[in-house]
Structure 1
Amino acid sequence: MALKTRSVTSDGKRVMTMEEFKRWLKKFDADKDGRISKNELREAIYATGGRFATWKSHRGIKSVDANGNGFIDEGELNNLVEFAEKHLGIRIAQF
């Protein structure tokens, strides 16, 4: 699942808006329940060429899952930005 973006920065990060990021991430919602599970986040990490995807997906869920249900819900997607910039090679830009 290719990651299409507006541009790539000099440090190799893909630039996209928050809405583009949300749309891209929702492509990994395999069961279409509107939430991102640890396994779905792992697939997103793999898609970006990321290494240590299992470990990173565990850390990602743990760091952004505000209600502790084990999933990233719609309301928690904004919390995922810092994780995405650090571990997915994505920069969220305000256009």
Structure 2
Amino acid sequence: MAIKTRNYSVDVDGKREMTVDEFARWLKRFDEDNDGRISKDELAAALRASGRWFASRKSKQGIRSVDVDGNGFIDDNEIKNLVQFAEQHLNVRILFL
């Protein structure tokens, strides 16, 4: 069962439910330099906003696990690879509709 809020649903277990596109838009809010990519520090800010501890360490792990081209950033093509990381560390449940 989910409770609908303004921008997304929250499941009874407290996880935000959103589609991959909604997740990508939410994550882009942390793109502080507006370069269209998510850096390790920007991912750490998303982790902190989700109430997670050890954000720097987890963001480094997240970048390493999804950065296919090895440039140290998550771009639009790699955000979909971040789904599993998001479900484990960002208190998000990704819905595939």
Counterpart in the other structure of 1:70: 72
Per-residue deviation, 1:8: 1.9
Counterpart in the other structure of 1:28: 30
Same amino acid, percent of matched pairs = 59
**Bigger Rg over Cα:** 2
User: Any idea what SS the aligned residue of 1:16 has?
Assistant: strand
* TM-score using structure 1 length: 0.90
Per-residue deviation, 1:5: 4.5
Gaps of 5+ in 2: 1-5
User: Any idea what SS the aligned residue of 1:81 has?
Assistant: helix
Matched, 1:56 2:97: no
1:18–1:93 contact (8 Å) kept in structure 2: yes
Q: Which has the higher helix share?
A: 1
List structure 1 segments (4+ residues) > 6 angstroms apart after TM superposition.
none
Letter in 1 for 2:89: H
User: Any idea what SS the aligned residue of 1:8 has?
Assistant: strand
Distance 1:30 1:7 in 2: 25
Distance 2:8 2:23 in 1: 11
Counterpart in the other structure of 1:9: 11
Distance 1:39 1:54 in 2: 7
* TM-score using structure 2 length: 0.89
Letter in 1 for 2:88: K
Letter in 1 for 2:37: R
Distance 2:8 2:30 in 1: 20
Number of positions where the alignment pairs a residue of Structure 1 with one of Structure 2: 92
Q: Which has the higher strand share?
A: 2
